Amino acid sequence: MRHAVLSLLVLSLVAAPLAAGSLKMPDPPAIELAEGIAPLPLHAVLKVSDDLQNTVSVVKTSPFDKLVYPTGAWTVALFEKNLPLVFEKVEVPKPGAPPVDADLTLEISIVRFEATVPHPAYNPYTATVVYRIDVFDRSGEKIFTQTATGNGQTSKGMMSGFKAKGLAAESAKLAMVDAARQVLEGLADAPELHPAPDTDAAPATPPEG
């Protein structure tokens, strides 16, 4: 009996199977940026393609099981929520909607996504994502581009099944938030995106006397 119990425990640690299917991600969080970052006085449009919205990342967890991460839709929701930290006005038109006249157009792409579901199951769940952002001005000229790599890791002991799915989702969330924070701070610091001073403005009147 004792041998059977030990065998079952070892099997749980090594296999920790996950049911196949789409992973349920937590709601995108508000990102805390570096101190001193304030929204730029610009109107920005986040251009979302069908390809990005429908992008999924498939990770094999065993010869018979896999996890499907909704990386595209979650990325769009994450940036839609947090871009107002960088720009005063942000719009996310639906795919196929008429062009919006804005100061900037932003295009986000997922260059790479990788995740590890550990065996044995008590090892950390990890994820890595690489985001790229391209920024275009009102004329359509690309004026800024950046890539950022985010990493996430979480572990809460031996878990399997639906509980393990939660750890997989958490590590993916941490990686995507890490990369998005770098992108947002890069946008805020980019000299190319800061409005030029108004050279036509009347010079300040020097004090009398």
pTM of structure: 0.81
In a domain, 33, yes or no: no
In a domain, 14, yes or no: no
In a domain, 10, yes or no: no
In a domain, 3, yes or no: no
Count of structural domains within the chain? 1
In a domain, 19, yes or no: no
Cα gap 60→175, rounded to integer Å: 19
Contact assessment for residue 6 and residue 115, using Cβ atoms and an 8 Å cutoff: no
Query: Tens of pLDDT along the chain (209 residues)?
Result: 444 333 323 333 333 344 456 789 999 999 999 999 999 999 999 999 899 999 999 988 777 888 999 999 999 999 999 999 999 999 999 877 788 899 999 999 999 999 998 877 678 899 999 999 999 999 999 999 999 999 999 877 545 545 678 889 999 999 999 999 999 999 999 999 987 665 454 444 555 54
Q: Which two tokens stand for residue 43?
A: 């109107």
Question: What range defines the domain where residue 145 resides?
Answer: 38-188
Q: In this structure, what CATH number is given to the domain that contains residue 107?
A: 3.40.50.10610
In a domain, 94, yes or no: yes
Q: Which two tokens stand for residue 115?
A: 């995740």
In a domain, 24, yes or no: no
In a domain, 75, yes or no: yes
Q: Which two tokens stand for residue 133?
A: 């952002």
Contact assessment for residue 170 and residue 155, using Cβ atoms and an 8 Å cutoff: no
